[in-house]
Structure 1
Amino acid sequence: MPDISTSPAIASLADIAAEARHWLLNVAAPLWSGTGRLEKGLFVERLTLDGRSDDAPRRLFVQARDVYSFGEIGRLGWQGPWRALCNSTVDYLLAHGKRADGLFIHSFTTDGTAHDTEADLYDQAFMLFCLAHASRALGRPELLDEADALMAALDKGWRHPAGGFAEKEKPRSTRHQNPHMHFFEAFSALYAISGKAAWKARAEEMAQLCRDRFIDSTTGALREYFTEDLAPAPGLEGQIIEPGHCFEWAWLFEGLARWGWADATAISDRLTAFGRTHGISATHDVAINEVTLDGTIHKPTARLWPQTERMKVALARLRRLNTMAEAEEARRAFRGLQLYFDMPVPGTWQDVLNPDGSFVSMPAPGSSLYHITCAMAELLDTVDGSKS
């Protein structure tokens, strides 16, 4: 591992790190911590183009993501009331979002009452992620006990015999890799924070599932959709690749490599290579939404979140490889992300870039704050030398 405190490649990113810190701490955090937040402890779901909250139900996974985001924003130096925000949201989710069976509901109304009480697999992954990070940020070890209890409920009824977890109460026509990616992320965080070997084993289980079932052995690309037995879904659906998810899994495998997992860097390299080769718009230098397994563009629009994943994996690879090429890739990804921040209300963002350079007119989704915060924290920690 290079000495990141003296690396010229990493030092070259100091200017964009300063921009990122200012925007996140001084522009975005004050807006999203206040506008539309309920006194009882729920963050806004989304903000309109003129910076107002609307009446969209408040999904549990967005609340869980925001707890993570404001914990990180506090760690990075924001002087706002991040501890109070995170504590009240976690407490509200535990008191009003947890069902009798130990799983969590999907969403709340705009006044904070239960809206959709079905359990979605994606939400459970993010609740685990939230509990892990909140435990560390807030100094609340009892939240790790809550994570153990949620995991016991999942193990009891949601394991799938073909591997991974079932999407039981919100069934879909195919199985998805995406919830399993976020279980990998949550399990990795829980191991890093608790030190418990069981969480490490669960993270490695998700990594193995990805390696053996989700990644195409020929191209190294990550498929999205599968049959019940985790064969690729039939027809075009089984050929769809999201470059952003290739980058996101690659970043997670970079973390696994630091544990000494033998295949991690090779898998990360292949996922990254496919995403960069086939998933970057030559016109706007942004990561697009979907291609097919042979690299053909399937959905040329570009959401905000793939730009953050492109940036994260470049930074992780920079720390491993210490090359100017990876530093330049991180810079390009950051500049691509900044396109989405050119807004009449600073601190909000666009979400979908069209191929002609225009944006789809829509509210700014609060779910994106997690992606943005994670990428900017990765950048700041890398440049500051606190992440090796």
Structure 2
Amino acid sequence: LLAKAKAPDGRPGFVFSLTPEGGVHDPLRDTYGHAFVLLALATVYSLDRDAQVRAEIDALLSFLDSQLRSPHGGFQEGLPPSMPRRQNPQMHLFEAMIACFDATHDLSFQNRAGDFFALFLANLYDKQTRVLGEYFEEDWSRIPPVSVEPGHLAEWVWLLKGFERITGCPTGRPRGELLASALRYRDATGCLIDEGDAEGNIRRHSRRLWPQSELAKAWIAQAESGEAGAADEARAALVLLERHYLSHPVAGGWYDQFDREGRSLVATIPASSFYHVLCAVTEAEQVLA
């Protein structure tokens, strides 16, 4: 990653994608992508505190601050900037800042995570409808009709628990509200669907794998907080994940998405889902075992 994707064209930051041969496929500096590079660097740094890796973390933060920070709060979509703005890159940067604090115990990462928590409360989360919007104007005003991805509601539950753990800032109320909202968007199988609206209606009846793993993580976070019955709900969510998605003819493989009739919509096994599966299993092992 550092050898091939970091500034191969002489410009700072990491390119979005590479060719199979290691050349530049897409030179976009994608904020969502940089969040995961930062998460990776934090994970590697936590292993052996390598000073070079810490320098890479600081260089990436400097790039984000100087090139991608938005005057309206949070960070642009990428370089070049694009619209609409999405909550998703901000969510994963929040995750990366929590991971950086865990790896370094540098208090500046508490402050950086706090900036994203403030953005969540002020702009991303609607306290009236108790849902998280996906798409926004430049100034974080919502783009109607509001799109809601219940998997992201669940993912924020887990992340807010992580923020509470590193700062002591209570997040129980928004966690409870987000989880209750997420649970409105389930089909007859008990799985979360892909997209709904702010009123709790289903917009897309398809259901991907990753929201189910995030629902399990949300319940695990609530179990860690001592919420009655949450551990049983987490185990039930993991059973659904196993039954519908992980019972695949390829050992260790998974189905990625089903339609409302339960037919598989994706013939391949997308690697992006592996992050979600592994994270859910890791959390379950730490909290439920």
Q: TM-score, normalising length from structure 2?
A: 0.94
Partner SS state of residue 246, structure 1: helix
The alignment status of 1:116 with 2:26, answered yes or no, reads yes
The alignment status of 1:328 with 2:235, answered yes or no, reads no
Partner SS state of residue 41, structure 2: helix
Question: 1:372 and 1:137, CA in 2 relative to 1: closer, same or farther beyond 3 A?
Answer: farther
Between the aligned partners of 2:31 and 2:127, the Cα distance in structure 1 is: 27
Between the aligned partners of 1:112 and 1:318, the Cα distance in structure 2 is: 43
Do the aligned residues in 2 keep the contact of 1:102 with 1:149 (CA within 8 Å)?
no
Between the aligned partners of 1:197 and 1:102, the Cα distance in structure 2 is: 26
Percent identity, aligned pairs only?
A: 34
Do the aligned residues in 2 keep the contact of 1:98 with 1:105 (CA within 8 Å)?
yes
How much does 1:269 deviate? 1.1
Tell me the equivalent position of 2:186. 280
Between the aligned partners of 2:207 and 2:50, the Cα distance in structure 1 is: 38
Do the aligned residues in 1 keep the contact of 2:245 with 2:254 (CA within 8 Å)?
yes
Do the aligned residues in 2 keep the contact of 1:304 with 1:337 (CA within 8 Å)?
yes
Do the aligned residues in 1 keep the contact of 2:39 with 2:99 (CA within 8 Å)?
yes
Question: 1:213 and 1:359, CA in 2 relative to 1: closer, same or farther beyond 3 A?
Answer: same
Amino acid at match of 1:362: A
Amino acid at match of 1:316: A
Partner SS state of residue 218, structure 1: coil
**Offset from partner CA, 1:272-326 (integer Å, 9 cap, x none):** 11111x1222x11111111100001111111000011100110111121252x21
The alignment status of 1:173 with 2:173, answered yes or no, reads no
Amino acid at match of 1:152: S
Q: How does 1:309-388 map to 2 (within 5 A)?
A: 309-323=214-228, 325-338=229-242, 339-384=244-289
Q: 1:189 aligns with which of 91, 94, 99?
A: 99
**Offset from partner CA, 1:1-37 (integer Å, 9 cap, x none):** xxxxxxxxxxxxxxxxxxxxxxxxxxxxxxxxxxxxx
Between the aligned partners of 1:216 and 1:322, the Cα distance in structure 2 is: 24
**Offset from partner CA, 1:96-148 (integer Å, 9 cap, x none):** 11114431011111222221122111111111000000111355342122011
Select the structure with the greater relative contact order (CA < 8 A; seq sep ≥ 6): 1
The alignment status of 1:268 with 2:175, answered yes or no, reads yes
Gaps of 5+ in 1: 1-92
Question: 1:262 and 1:361, CA in 2 relative to 1: closer, same or farther beyond 3 A?
Answer: closer
Q: How does 1:88-99 map to 2 (within 5 A)?
A: 93-99=1-7
Do the aligned residues in 2 keep the contact of 1:101 with 1:153 (CA within 8 Å)?
no
Tell me the equivalent position of 1:151. 61
Do the aligned residues in 1 keep the contact of 2:150 with 2:192 (CA within 8 Å)?
yes
Question: 1:344 and 1:138, CA in 2 relative to 1: closer, same or farther beyond 3 A?
Answer: farther
Between the aligned partners of 1:156 and 1:101, the Cα distance in structure 2 is: 13
Paired residues, what number? Answer: 286
Between the aligned partners of 2:49 and 2:230, the Cα distance in structure 1 is: 35
Do the aligned residues in 2 keep the contact of 1:290 with 1:298 (CA within 8 Å)?
yes
Amino acid at match of 2:197: T
Partner SS state of residue 365, structure 1: coil
Do the aligned residues in 2 keep the contact of 1:314 with 1:327 (CA within 8 Å)?
yes
Between the aligned partners of 1:97 and 1:195, the Cα distance in structure 2 is: 27
Do the aligned residues in 2 keep the contact of 1:285 with 1:332 (CA within 8 Å)?
no
Do the aligned residues in 1 keep the contact of 2:68 with 2:79 (CA within 8 Å)?
no
Tell me the equivalent position of 2:206. 301
Partner SS state of residue 321, structure 1: coil
Tell me the equivalent position of 2:153. 246
Question: 1:149 and 1:260, CA in 2 relative to 1: closer, same or farther beyond 3 A?
Answer: closer
The alignment status of 1:255 with 2:165, answered yes or no, reads no
Q: TM-score, normalising length from structure 1?
A: 0.71
CA-atom RMSD in angstroms: 1.5
Tell me the equivalent position of 1:222. 132
The alignment status of 1:129 with 2:39, answered yes or no, reads yes
The alignment status of 1:290 with 2:200, answered yes or no, reads no
**Offset from partner CA, 1:339-379 (integer Å, 9 cap, x none):** 11222211111111111111113211111111111110000
